[in-house]
A and B are shown apart, each in its own frame.
Chain A
């Protein structure tokens, strides 16, 4: 789960990372109230989970209530790369002497934590990596040993952080590391990490991605869940415990297993179509699950055909077939189903489908993935 900047800052604050005083606002009046609390001058920042806010006009400085009104009015509702701004973060404007970059991620290749630190902050780190790769210090941290103050200090010196900021940045790195590990982040990034003229080190932005698998030990994440911008279909899928991702094609997809579901999207694409979604129904494709999956897909008006791709392992093909027949009684579908059923007891499963007496215009059976994809794409039309 990706956090908004303000949530990231609140999360940072839990681990003692210095952030600016501020508050979130969903209306112009709320923005003014937050500005009064934070004290002028303030910065008004669009809360969207996409880069390039500043260039799009989503970050503005305001010296008084009138300016807050003007900017908040413009920013709220703004479309930034297809993300509509619903909230702004209003914080006391910081004086900046220098800007740095710091982040922790998991390096999957090294199977170690990775610190990236640079004295060149405030710009995209990918840009720095291209223009001046030596300006980024990369330090692997053994997850069992953790980050020591000595290593943090060495990284700070190696990154050529100004001497007056070195102790502050090293201390900040330890806190950020704790947030990353104890806070179960996939990514904890501060860009820019600033040095104020007064000598303090401070997080001016926050980019945090949380590991959904760790949600069971973080009840405090519930409030972040609540602000996730899911459409109705994604909400329904989540309620039903289905792994669903909406896409923009016309072939609805249901498959068992993440790999097979990804592969199904690929095959549909290969024969000239485009998938409307990714949906992994998981191991036990029973009538309940199949009904839920069909309900989710049926609510997508773009869907012109539904491709159910099931490979029976321990889940037997006859059970899956019964589930589909039962689900079709429960859900009135707007688009025909093309099914490919293979693996354990597939023959029995196909017999059940054939015996159910469902019209060919509603349920078409194909014996391979590729044939099924072709049929589904013929019905839905090419992309």
Chain B
């Protein structure tokens, strides 16, 4: 088991013929992911190292039975690409594109909610998702992720930051702790998939026994997660929140990482998670150390 994706997930890459799409799409295939198609308008009939390219998501789905999409197109094209995938019946869409305007994200999210409730969007501006040994969609270097063990205990990871996700994967691997699934939800103001969505999935995934959550300043997603944890999550958790020392009113690299009007501070988020029973570390290493202690006691 894993969440959102598994060894049967068939992936098409929107933008496979572009630089990013080709690089990461082929890496994902090398990892063992079933990358079955590419989509680039006007390039139907071509192939990228044996992966057939189609003009539309619809024709790619009809020919290959793709169930998930990996979107690696520029910000201008990303909103239309997401909706095209949803219209073609794709159930899981991963959009790594950074720089999508917030107004577009809000409209896309509301459109998915209203017209395509069966489509889950991960991102934009996210590193993607990896279920080690089964499926890797996005930009994560697969080799830094430890495989889950049959008996467990295995850890699920959910994070707003790319590099901190890798850091967590790496630290768990060094401690020989297996990972069920690692989800990067992205650093934008309107992420398609939230902490709460991932926590709910991890809670019901029999292969996941404990959860690490990595948040950052800005918004209230971590506070909402804390509320959800109190009532719905029984699996032990550790967490880290980046940006304790970030100045107010500045976007810290990610479009969504901003403390405004005294809201969205790291301290507020850490306090909320602590009251929900989550072990909160002061740096990523400490959060993984706390997880190692949790795993050792299981």
Contacts and interface: CB of A to CB of B under 8 A. Distances in A.
A269 B244 CA distance: 9
Interface string B204-231: 0000000000101111110010000000
Interface in A95-152: 106, 108-109, 111-113, 126, 142-145
Interface string B98-118: 011111101101110010000
B166 A262 contact: no
A206 interface: no
B253 A258 contact: yes
Interface residues on B, range: 35 or more
Contacts of A216: 75-76
B220 A109 contact: yes
Given A260-B161, A370-B285, A280 B253 contact: yes
Nearest to A267: B283
A112 B187 contact: no
A256 interface: yes
Interface residues of A, number: 52
A269 B242 CA distance: 12
Contact of A143 (B107, B160, B255): B107
B12 to A, nearest CB: 21
Interface string A217-256: 1000000000000000000000000010101000000011
Report whether over half of chain A's contact residues are helix, strand or loop; otherwise say mixed.
mixed
B4 interface: no
A245 B250 contact: yes
A342 interface: yes
B254 A259 contact: yes
Interface string B138-150: 0111011000000
B40 interface: no
B141 to A, nearest CB: 4
B221 A211 contact: no
A199 interface: no
Contact of B167 (A126, A260, A280): A260
Given A257-B161, A266-B242, A313-B166, A344 B141 contact: yes
A256 B159 CA distance: 16
B189 interface: yes
A344 B161 CA distance: 18
A269 B220 CA distance: 24
Given A213-B75, A313-B163, A368-B285, A258 B187 contact: yes
Nearest to B283: A267
Contacts of A265: 243-246
Contact of A266 (B109, B244, B250): B244
Given A108-B189, A343-B166, A369-B283, A258 B254 contact: yes
B190 interface: yes
Given A108-B219, A109-B224, 7 more contacts: A144-B110, A212-B251, A255-B163, A259-B160, A260-B161, A278-B253, A311-B166
17 contacts: A108-B218, A111-B106, A143-B106, A143-B110, A184-B101, A184-B103, A212-B251, A213-B102, A214-B102, A257-B164, A258-B252, A259-B160, A259-B163, A259-B216, A263-B164, A263-B240, A343-B170
Interface of B: 27, 75-76, 99-104, 106-107, 109-111, 114, 139-141, 143-144, 159-167, 170, 187, 189-190, 214, 216-221, 224, 240, 242-247, 250-257, 261, 266, 282-285
